[in-house]
């Protein structure tokens, strides 16, 4: 713990959700399924949970985890944990039970909150040494979430201290790694300044407004922006999943001022008929942030033409946070850029860690705005550093004017719908199937998702599977991989290319098979 406590970069005069509850308790904090929750109600419930968590003997630095949808419970638990020095770990609910178990064990989580559907499938993990609470339905072996905090005072906890988020991000081998940010020696309200500064940097300046949450809060980008907006005093309009027309409806209905999206959302919005798009007023929008995947220039131009110069792209990561940002006007002048970083905050290095010339691609290193370590992996933490700079493996270049262009994200990484997919993890899953002799996975361009997962498979008994085996492999992927990791296309081959080291050459697979994807007789769409 001692190396994760930081006392600088915090303003004790900062506002936050806790202060809004005290100063303006009737102010609306959340709207979920058209039901409003005030700041007073939200923080009263969080206070009760904080007292209960302390009574469970949780201590500063311990981890409270949640496998929940975008809803009131996410914020109740998050704000409760982060005012008594705990880490709050939101986990992707799409993951399979064995993937969830890995994260829960690796993080040493002490408490788990889960939606009823997730609690049922996680009941098989009975050996995990943690307190577990199910939202809503009674599940054998689980406490009910409504009992968490029941009977405890709704007053602020004594000796409150700031906690933080703990996010998991996949490593190059596909095994997720916890990005453990430093704890700050500060009050919870002071820590809120870090989050409000983050949304102010993205252009959200007013203390009045409505922020639409239409991306999963377990992602650090939308989760961090939403946290900053809440601490700034905005109303969060929460959607459990993305529905293009419902997004337009609620932008008009709640006078939404800002939101966070990925290019897939733009694609789905533009896929609506002109009649539907023209039905709703979007004039309240001031800032629409997007990140998470490369955005096709034609798609972005259409969004700017429709919504005006409110589209802002930024470049960042769970580890490094925001390092560049570009307005609509700047982007139109320099299509493809993710913005102009501040001086000396981004460097591009070659394989010898020497700085490259403008226009030359290399590994992107940034000054991390939030000090962090990879949980349980000091080696990975050390190798990601270059002096005061850190890299997560992104490749790109700076042009002669200092604008940053990201060419590839973590080399072989596939980014589909704003979500990271590592080929090694998909390959490892399929290699456990008895009929799969070899496999290579790569990402192909996709108009809707940015990239889609393509699997090139060599079978044990020939290049062409029966229709039954094709379906068997598709069903196999559903049992072993989260939905966004499953291949959208399959190519079956007689020979499989490997390099001199015996490894599958994904670059060779991509070069060989990507041109054939539209017409290949070996193509299989699940």
Between 14-23, 169-178, 377-386, 425-434, the lowest mean confidence (pLDDT) is in 169-178
> In the structure, what pLDDT confidence band is assigned to residue 11 with cuts at 50, 70 and 90?
very low
Closest CA to 29 of 247, 195, 217, 235: 235
Residue 396 located in a structural domain: yes
Residues 281-325 pLDDT 10s: 999 999 999 987 667 787 899 999 999 999 999 988 887 666 789
Tell me if 320 is assigned to some domain: no
139 and 23 in one domain?
yes
What confidence category does residue 9 fall into, taking pLDDT thresholds of 50, 70 and 90? Answer: very low
Q: pLDDT band at 377, cuts 50/70/90?
A: confident
Q: Are 72 and 104 within one domain?
A: yes
**Residue 398 belongs to what domain range?**
340-411
Q: Judge whether 443 lies within some domain.
A: yes
Q: Each residue of 117-144: pLDDT tens digit?
A: 999 998 878 788 999 999 988 898 899 9
Q: Quick one: 147 and 31 in the same domain? A: yes
**Which of 370, 386, 411 is the C-terminal boundary of a domain?**
411
What does the buried/exposed string (b/e) look like for 238-257 if buried means 16 or more CB atoms within 10 Å of the residue's CB?
bbeebebeebbebbeebbbb
* Cα distance between the two ends of the chain: 47
- Residue 453 and residue 414 in contact, taking contact as beta carbons nearer than 8 Å: yes
Q: How confident is the model at residue 172 (pLDDT cuts 50, 70, 90)?
A: very low
Same domain, 377 and 497: no
Is 173 a residue whose pLDDT tops 70?
A: no
The pLDDT value recorded for residue 236 is 98
The pLDDT of residue 520:
42
The CATH number of the domain holding residue 178 is 3.40.50.980
Residue 307 has a pLDDT of 98
Q: How many C-beta atoms surround the C-beta of residue 517 within 10 A?
A: 15
Residue 164 domain-assigned (yes or no): yes
Quick check: 64 pLDDT over 80? yes
- Confidence bin at 502 (pLDDT 50/70/90): very low
The CATH number for 444's domain is 3.30.300.30
Q: Tell me how far apart the alpha carbons of residues 226 and 234 are, in angstroms, rounded to a whole number.
A: 9
242 domain residue, yes or no? no
Res 291: pLDDT: 86
Q: What is the pLDDT of residues 184-209, one digit of tens each?
A: 888 898 888 877 776 766 565 667 89
Q: Where are the alpha helices (DSSP H) in 338-439?
A: 378-383, 423-431
User: Domain boundary at 209, 233, 253, which?
Assistant: 209
pLDDT at position 22 over 60 = yes
Q: Is 136 left (phi over 0), alpha (psi -120 to 50) or beta?
A: left
Q: Which of 209, 235, 265 represents a domain boundary (last residue)?
A: 209
- On whether residue 68 sits in a domain, the answer given is yes
Band of residue 521 on the pLDDT scale cut at 50, 70, 90: very low
**93 and 149 together in one domain:** yes
Contact residues for 253 (Cβ-Cβ < 8 A; gap 6+):
none
Q: What is the pLDDT of residues 330-372, one digit of tens each?
A: 999 999 899 999 888 999 999 899 999 999 988 999 987 678 8
Residue 178 bridge partners (DSSP): 168
pLDDT band of residue 526 (cuts 50, 70, 90) is: very low
The predicted structure's pLDDT at residue 5: 31
Domain shared by 356 and 493, yes or no:
no
Confidence check: pLDDT of 148 > 80: yes
> Could you read off the pLDDT of 411-465 as tens digits, one per residue?
677 888 888 787 877 887 887 788 888 888 898 888 888 889 999 998 987 777 8
| Number of separate domains in the chain | 3
pLDDT averaged over every residue in the chain: 86
Distance between CA atoms of residues 130 and 101, nearest Å: 12
Please indicate, yes or no, whether residues 399 and 426 belong to a single structural domain of this protein: no
**pLDDT band at residue 409 under the 50/70/90 scheme:** low
Same domain, 398 and 494: no
Residues 62, 165, single domain; the answer is yes
Query: What CATH number is given to the structural domain containing 401?
Result: 2.30.38.10
- Is the pLDDT at 492 greater than 80? The verdict is yes
pTM for the model stands at 0.81
Q: Please, are residues 48 and 154 in contact by the beta-carbon 8 Å criterion?
A: yes
Task: Answer yes or no: do 349 and 440 share one domain.
Answer: no
Q: Is the same domain home to 136 and 205?
A: yes
The pLDDT tens digits for 216-273 are 999 988 999 999 999 999 999 999 999 999 999 999 999 999 999 988 799 889 989 9
With cut-offs at 50, 70 and 90, classify the pLDDT of residue 56: very high
Query: Is residue 481 assigned to a domain?
Result: yes
Q: What is the pLDDT of residue 203?
A: 61
Q: Please check whether residue 113 lies inside any domain of the structure.
A: yes
- Output the 3-class SS for 122-188: HCCCCCCCCEEEECCCCCCCCEEHHHCCCCCCCCCCCCCECCEEEEEEECCCCCEEEEEECEECCCH
Q: Give the pLDDT confidence score for residue 90 in this predicted structure.
A: 97
Same-domain pairing of 495 and 371: no
Structure tokens at 30: 């959340």
């Amino acid at each position: 713990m001692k190396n994760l406590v930081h006392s600088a970069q915090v303003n004790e005069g900062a506002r936050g959700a806790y202060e809004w509850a005290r100063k303006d308790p009737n102010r609306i904090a959340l709207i979920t399924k058209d039901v409003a929750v005030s700041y007073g109600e939200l923080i009263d419930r969080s206070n009760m949970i904080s007292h209960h968590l302390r009574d469970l003997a949780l201590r500063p630095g311990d981890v409270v985890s949640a496998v929940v949808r975008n809803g009131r419970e996410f914020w109740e638990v998050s704000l409760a944990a982060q005012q008594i020095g705990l880490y709050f770990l939101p986990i992707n609910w799409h993951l399979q039970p064995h993937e969830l178990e890995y994260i829960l064990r690796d993080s040493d989580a002490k408490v788990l909150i889960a939606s009823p559907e997730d609690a049922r499938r996680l009941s098989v993990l009975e050996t995990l040494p943690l307190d577990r609470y199910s939202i809503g339905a009674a599940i054998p072996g689980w406490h009910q979430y409504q009992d968490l905090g029941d009977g405890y005072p709704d007053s602020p906890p004594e000796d409150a201290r700031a906690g933080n988020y703990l996010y998991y991000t996949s490593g190059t081998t596909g095994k997720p790694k916890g990005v453990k940010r430093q704890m700050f020696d500060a009050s919870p309200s002071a820590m809120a300044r870090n989050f409000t500064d983050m949304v102010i940097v993205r252009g959200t300046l007013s203390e009045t407004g409505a922020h639409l949450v239409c991306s999963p809060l377990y992602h650090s980008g939308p989760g961090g922006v939403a946290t900053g907006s809440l601490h700034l005093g905005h109303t969060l309009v929460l959607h459990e999943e993305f529905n293009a027309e419902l997004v337009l409806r609620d932008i008009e209905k709640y006078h939404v001022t800002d939101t966070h999206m990925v290019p897939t959302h733009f694609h789905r919005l533009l896929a609506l008929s002109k009649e539907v798009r023209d039905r709703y007023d979007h004039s309240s929008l001031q800032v629409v942030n997007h990140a998470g995947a490369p955005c096709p220039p034609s798609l972005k131009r259409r969004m700017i033409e429709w919504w005006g110069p409110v589209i802002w792209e930024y470049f960042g990561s769970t580890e490094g946070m925001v390092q560049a940002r570009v307005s609509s006007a700047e982007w139109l002048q320099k299509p493809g850029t993710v913005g102009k970083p501040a001086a000396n905050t981004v460097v591009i290095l070659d394989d010898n860690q020497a700085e490259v010339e403008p226009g030359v691609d290399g590994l992107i290193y940034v000054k991390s705005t939030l000090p962090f370590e990879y949980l349980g992996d000091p080696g990975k933490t050390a190798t990601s550093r270059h002096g005061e700079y850190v890299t997560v493996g992104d490749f790109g270049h700076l042009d002669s004017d200092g604008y940053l262009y990201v060419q590839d994200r973590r080399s072989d990484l596939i980014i589909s719908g704003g979500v990271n997919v590592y080929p090694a993890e998909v390959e490892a899953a399929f290699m456990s199937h008895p009929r799969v002799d070899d496999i290579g996975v790569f990402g192909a361009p996709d108009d809707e998702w940015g990239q889609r997962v393509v699997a090139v498979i060599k079978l044990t008994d020939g290049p062409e599977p029966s229709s039954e085996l094709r379906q068997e492999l598709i069903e196999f992927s559903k049992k072993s991989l989260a939905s966004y990791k499953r291949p959208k296309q399959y190519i079956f081959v007689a020979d499989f290319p490997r390099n001199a080291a015996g490894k599958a050459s994904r670059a060779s697979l991509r070069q060989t098979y990507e041109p054939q994807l539209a017409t290949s007789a070996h193509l299989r769409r699940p």
